[in-house]
């Protein structure tokens, strides 16, 4: 059956627009995806829609066609807004379509910080040039720019732009506090922001701009996804983390992260083997063969206990990784670097 063939694709898109009846849009969206045998996640809110769906090429093409002709999105969404990668329905366990307050969970009321206050969008070509200039100035110690990764630490760990500042945060909803705690860092700077597909920058840049400390805020239109289409071997090194069962997609052969246990170069995530832990762990095949499959000693211990005990007992998640990480890191940038940034 053509709709279910293994070689399909995964689409990623978002659209900010006024949705009068999110419940109705949600029901329509669910029926559409079911009809096309698409799996994945779609978030609907009064501020728009955000989705990542997988299926056969036939199905994803039809999906785009229908989305572009839907009156709600007709004037705001275009073909270019859909980022695609090789995959299919098998990349997601199921289909989830729901109504939320925000289409990307930053945890700030859209009424307070609106996507309408976003930064200046740069095309992949413009962004590439900006990064090039930034890197050449930074190497001479005279940059007034911060290249900011808006993603979570486990995403930037396996792939990022050279010379970027990648916050050690676990969730995008910690990003606003990260900005608040590190305002000094952004003072009078030009900020170049990027994320996976562009959506986190829409709200992130609006939040940063609302603080009125930066000189300018720019963001990469279409995110890393679109950048890699144009510059597979550009300034973005490593893999691109994706939120589905593939975990990452690859544009160049670089591996920039290491196995948690033996430090050999490795960038393929697996879920921590301890039942109640949701952390991802980088552990290479030879360490996995030795039974090193958890994200930390606490989880590894716990797993051994669980295996030797009657399976009736449930343990709550306690994990060194979560315990040791401050929710919001404070960047310690030396005064020298800050002075170097001044004209």
The DSSP-derived string for 165-233 is: B----SSGGGHHHHHHHTHHHHTT-EEEEE-SSSHHHHHHHHHHHHTT--SEEEEETTHHHHHHHH-TT
150 is an active site residue: no
Contact at 8 Å (CB) between 244 and 52? yes
Q: Three-state SS across 72-135?
A: CCCCCCCHHHCEEEEECHHHCCCEEEEECCCCCCCCCCCCCCCHHHCCEEECHHHHHHHHHHHH
* 39-45 β-sheet, strand order: 83-87, 8-16, 48-56, 39-45, 95-99
Residues 6+ apart with CB under 8 A from 334: none
Find where tokens 């506090």 sit. 177
Distance CA 108, CA 101 (A): 10
Distance CA 215, CA 145 (A): 9
Q: Quote the tokens at residue 2.
A: 């053509």
State the CB neighbour count (10 A cutoff) for residue 89.
24
| Rg of the chain (C-alpha set) | 21
Distance CA 230, CA 279 (A): 32
* Burial of 248 from C-beta contacts in 10 A (0-12 / 13-18 / 19+): middle
From 33, 195, 214, 272, the catalytic residue: 195
Distance CA 54, CA 41 (A): 9
The whole-angstrom distance between residue 302's C-alpha and the CA centroid of its chain comes to 30
Point out the residues that are catalytic: 195
């Amino acid at each position: 059956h053509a709709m279910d063939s293994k070689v399909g694709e995964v689409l990623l898109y978002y659209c900010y627009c006024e949705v009068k009846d999110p419940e109705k849009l949600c029901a329509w969206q669910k029926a559409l995806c079911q009809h096309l045998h698409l799996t994945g996640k779609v978030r609907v809110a009064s501020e728009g829609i955000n989705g990542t769906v997988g299926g056969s090429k036939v199905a994803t093409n039809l999906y785009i066609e229908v989305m572009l002709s839907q009156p709600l999105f007709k004037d705001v969404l275009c073909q270019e807004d859909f980022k695609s990668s090789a995959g299919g329905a098998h990349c997601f366990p199921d289909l989830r379509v729901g109504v939320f307050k925000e289409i990307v969970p930053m945890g700030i009321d859209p009424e307070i910080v609106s996507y309408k206050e976003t930064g200046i969008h740069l095309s992949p070509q413009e962004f590439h040039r900006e990064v090039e200039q930034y890197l050449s100035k930074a190497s001479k110690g005279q940059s007034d720019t911060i290249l900011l990764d808006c993603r979570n630490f486990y995403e930037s760990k396996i792939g990022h732009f050279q010379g970027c500042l990648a916050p050690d945060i676990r969730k995008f909803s910690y990003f606003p506090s990260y900005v608040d705690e590190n305002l000094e860092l952004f003072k009078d700077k030009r900020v170049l922001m990027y994320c996976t597909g562009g959506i986190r920058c829409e709200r992130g840049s609006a939040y940063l701009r609302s603080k009125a400390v930066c000189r300018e805020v720019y963001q990469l239109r279409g995110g890393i996804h679109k950048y890699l289409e144009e510059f597979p071997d550009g300034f973005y090194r490593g893999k691109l983390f994706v939120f589905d069962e593939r975990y990452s997609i690859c544009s160049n052969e670089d591996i920039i992260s290491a196995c948690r246990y033996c430090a050999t170069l490795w960038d393929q995530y697996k879920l921590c083997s301890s039942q109640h832990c949701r952390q991802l762990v980088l552990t290479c095949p030879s360490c996995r063969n030795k039974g090193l499959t958890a994200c930390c000693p606490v989880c590894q211990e716990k797993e051994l206990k669980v295996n030797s005990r009657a399976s009736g007992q449930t343990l709550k998640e306690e994990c060194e990784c979560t315990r040791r990480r401050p929710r919001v890191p404070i960047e310690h940038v030396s005064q020298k670097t800050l002075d170097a940034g001044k004209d």
